[in-house]
Chain A
Amino acid sequence: MKFGVVVFPGSNCDDDMIHVLGTVMGQDVVKLWHKETSLEGFEKGDCIVLPGGFSYGDYMRAGAIASFSPIMKSVIEFANNGGYVFGICNGFQILCETHLLPGVLLRNSNQKFICKNVFLKTETTNSAITSKLVKGKALKIPIAHADGRFHADEATLSELKKNDQILFTYCNESAKVDAQSNPNGSALNIAGICNAQRNVFGMMPHPERASENILGNMDGKALFESLISLSKVALAH
């Protein structure tokens, strides 16, 4: 499986993703400059990662300008052809702006940037990034964002539920999903979702910051293990 990490002007978690995918997980990974106009060399079983950061300084709206970067046309095409696309934090915001994922990410309910560990409940194992997780168990993964409040209309939210598209919800240490454990006011405590075709994933928390022993937290590594293992299965078919 090959990974491409897109670098937008203002991306700042691109190196972290390259480190985790390449050095920690031993995968084939390359940087892709946002001005590139094709994803030549990437096939259906590969994965394009939109990393965290402040693309275009979050000007106008987080992710809004990046969604018009030249490479995004190819990324949308790649996704529509069934390729994996994984957006984290600012990457999630960009995916919502391009409508590859439904909903929108609004300013946190406390109006502040928040960086801290939170707990995530795995709502489904039926996705490429959650297949190796334990459903219902709490994972400790950090967030770092000012605009992470997931919002969608009622119809969209019930679609998400009905289609099993909610991947992660904010919860407490005992995996209880309640208002107190919702750090940013997200609808239904939603922390991460996938599209209806289940090949595009977005989440606000940063699993790449929780994938090494030296950082004192390994809870995020299983997401990458899932992605890599499931794609192997998919390719075998």
Chain B
Amino acid sequence: MQATEALVTVETAKNLGLKADEYEKIIEIMGRVPNFTELSIFSVMWSEHCSYKNSITYLKKLPREGERLLVEAGEENAGLVDIGGGLACAFKIESHNHPSAIEPYQGAATGVGGIHRDIFTMGARPIAALNSLRFGDINEKHTRHLVKGVVHGIGDYGNCFGVPMVGGEVYFDKCYNQNILVNAMSVGIVKVGETVSAIADGPGNPVFIVGSATGKDGIHGATFASADLTEDSAEDLPAVQVGDPFQEKLLLEASLEAIKTGAIVGMQDMGAAGITCSTSEMSAKSKTGMVIDLDKVPTRQNDMKAFEILLSESQERMLIVAHKGKEHLLFEVFDKWDLECCEIGTVTDTGRLEYFQNGEKVADVPADPLVLGGGAPIYDREYEEPAYYAKLQEFDMDSIEEPTDLLATAKKLFATPNLVSKRWVYEQYDSMVRTNSMSRNEPSDAALVRVKGTQKALAVTTDCNSAYVYADPYIGAMIAVSEAARNIVCSGGQPVAITNCLNFGNPYDKGVYWQFVNALKGMGEACIKFNTPVTGGNVSFYNQSVYKDRTEPVFPTPTIGMLGILDDYTEQMTLNFKNEGDVIFVIGRIVDDIASSEYLRIIHEVAHSPAPYFDLEEEAHLQKVIAELIKEKMILSAHDVSDGGLFTTLVEASMQYNLGFHVNTNRDVRKDAFLFGEGQSRVVISVSSDFEDILVNHLLGQNVDFSKLGVVSKGSIQIDSQDFGPIEDWKEIHDNTLGQHMEN
């Protein structure tokens, strides 16, 4: 071993983010004190980001089995779902929160690059992308700086890479002021049986690094992602990676071509913890080991230290184990694409990872104890109901006065950044490349993506109202899953599986961990109800802002990325009203509830209240009813009632064709609750007046609440005969408000 390294102590371990007892465990595993390089390897592999040490116990309780799942959750780089016809869909969502908070452009760009690599490393071609973004108060200059940087970064990377951004969310709340959330999702298609695994079978097989050269960027990125963001975090800038979408595009094409040659045994992309993670995970999975010569790794700088090469999170790289004797096939492909392809080592049968530099062994660690499911630590953290929860339950709706001027209220609410069109954002993304985006011209609640060569389409969505999850993690997470499923059903699809991105605060905070445990419980129950097992995803803890006198976690934000399938894309359903004179119904129960609504926050400045009305059984039944209405071709549009309530839903359905609506409220509930309440499990549909009776007769036999609201108008809006002005005025607010905020 090199003698030049500094002596390792428990202090060194702590500086690398390890706990004292973890350091003891490492010494026990190694049978000696590790050197600095070895300790660095343990520190990244045992970081929260790579090891899931504080979450795995509860992740394993989520439903992870289903007849369509082709790999078990967490087994491969992404979930794999059988979509029929010999095809499978690989999809996953992942966070890039901390890098984006520090350096929004590169942080978000490499988030996009990382998630696409997870998909094509399995052999699937990415065909759609989504992202779920949470920012702080839009009136803060810093927030707008972050929005601009993140959107620019996502756009530049995704546009060049050539995968359409088909959907997602943008949400603003001051809880994200310092710690924004950037969750990126990729969806890919692969033929069943043509996937590639992240394995290192066959001692004697050569190991290659392909793609970009290794630089000093992103070192300790995984550790950085596993600690609180503080005011000093900007000093961790080198922990943020730098992206090159052009290299990624070449790597995509070259990787998919290389797979076709049959030369590849296993492949894994390099994301968090770089070479360390890919070599250890592939070896551990195959119960093999590797000898790696770090001098053969192409580097961007001279004199990089061993730990720097091992921990670098330079982007656009892959580790490939090839069949011995077929190396030339790899070289041919990577040469065609002008990419580096360097043999850096060999698979062994020792179960150990042996790294060499300058002819000396610089690290020698066992593979299995490094990885999740091997020897990486697993913790069961303590939790406790936080004080705020009981306080929220005291909320009394009667203390909220009904507004006298409904029109003014509606105008103010409708212009809030969370409810207006996110056009300013999504027009900076290529949403149509690959010519499969069915929802760009004919919008629906979930994004529909045609699968070329088949009659099928995928329905994809990301959803999570984090204010609901804060109000009640158990109910809120159930709602997140339900809303995702509802969006897919309203688009004509059948929900089949989810991927999740679990963004929470510090897991060592008992209140935060209580949110985590309860959110996962609710998520699991809802996933069972909709038969949408969890295929994988990502956990991001430590999302909180640290101030001088206090620490504030972000809203617990378990983002759900859901996949649905339309076996026949002509079963597509859209959200917009079609003709003047069509009749508008709401299916589902209208309840006297304004809890946790945008209305309550914006108009009455009540920041927190209990979760809105929700019943899982009722939700599941509603979705069944809607799916049948669509299948039987009884309705012309379907749009679920979500943020902003019924009024927002109706305006959204009217805008595309400049139609309007004349509706009446219902005397049983308060007018504000009727128009702006966010009680769950409701869908607005429209039907041709000729079919109204047939629809009503059908619904009477369905044991579901429904009400006729009124009719589609030529462009005017009337509620209880009160004139709410022409649709053009509302469209103007909807389309341009966010841009006005951003460009000012």
Contacts and interface: CB of A to CB of B under 8 A. Distances in A.
A21 B180 CA distance: 44
A208 B435 contact: yes
B159 A54 contact: yes
A124 interface: no
B244 A57 contact: yes
A167 interface: no
Contact of A57 (B245, B428, B431): B245
Nearest to B743: A110
A165 to B, nearest CB: 28
Interface stretch (A78-86, A209-217, A223-231): A209-217
Interface string B243-265: 01111011000000000000000
Contact of A113 (B156, B249, B452): B156
Contacts of A214: 438, 450, 569
A23 B436 CA distance: 14
A56 B246 contact: yes
A10 B162 CA distance: 9
Nearest to B160: A54
Interface in A8-24: 9-10, 12-13, 15-16, 19-20, 23
A112 interface: yes
A117 B423 CA distance: 12
B427 A114 contact: yes
A191 B435 CA distance: 21
Given A10-B249, A112-B428, A214-B450, A117 B441 contact: yes
B161 interface: yes
A208 B437 CA distance: 13
Interface residues of B, number: 34
Given A57-B246, A216-B440, A19 B432 contact: no
A13 B433 contact: yes
B614 interface: no
Contacts of B337: 9
Interface string A37-63: 000000000000000111011110000
Interface in B408-445: 426-438, 440-442
Contacts of B427: 114-116
A35 B336 CA distance: 9
Interface in B433-464: 433-438, 440-442, 450, 452
Contacts of B505: none
A79 B250 CA distance: 29
Q: Is the interface of A mostly helix, strand, loop or mixed?
A: mixed
B155 interface: yes
Contacts of B732: none
Nearest to B246: A57
A10 B156 contact: no
A58 B160 contact: yes
A142 interface: yes
A59 B250 CA distance: 14
B246 A215 contact: no
A207 to B, nearest CB: 11
Nearest to A112: B428
Contacts of B436: 215
Contact of A215 (B247, B426, B438): B438
Contacts of A188: none
B731 to A, nearest CB: 14
Contacts of A114: 427-428
A209 B433 CA distance: 7
A59 B246 contact: yes
Nearest to B148: A112
A52 B434 CA distance: 11
Interface string A128-148: 000000000000001010100
A221 interface: no
Given A54-B160, A215-B441, A144 B246 contact: no
Contact of A54 (B246, B435, B441): B246
B380 interface: no
A128 to B, nearest CB: 22
A121 B450 CA distance: 29
B442 A12 contact: no
A206 B246 contact: no
A35 B335 CA distance: 12
A146 B604 CA distance: 42
Interface string A190-209: 00000000000000001011
B338 interface: yes
Interface in B213-252: 244-247, 249-250
Contact of B435 (A33, A53, A117, A212): A212
A121 to B, nearest CB: 20
Contact of B434 (A9, A10, A15, A23): A15
Contact of B432 (A54, A113, A142, A146): A142
24 contacts: A9-B338, A10-B246, A13-B162, A13-B433, A54-B159, A54-B246, A56-B246, A113-B428, A113-B429, A114-B427, A115-B159, A115-B429, A115-B432, A144-B159, A144-B430, A146-B159, A209-B435, A212-B435, A214-B438, A214-B450, A215-B432, A215-B441, A216-B438, A216-B442
The 9 closest A-B pairs by CB, nearest first: A12-B162, A57-B246, A216-B441, A54-B160, A216-B442, A16-B435, A144-B430, A209-B432, A115-B430
Given A57-B249, A144-B432, A214-B450, 7 more contacts: A16-B434, A115-B428, A115-B432, A117-B441, A142-B440, A215-B435, A216-B441
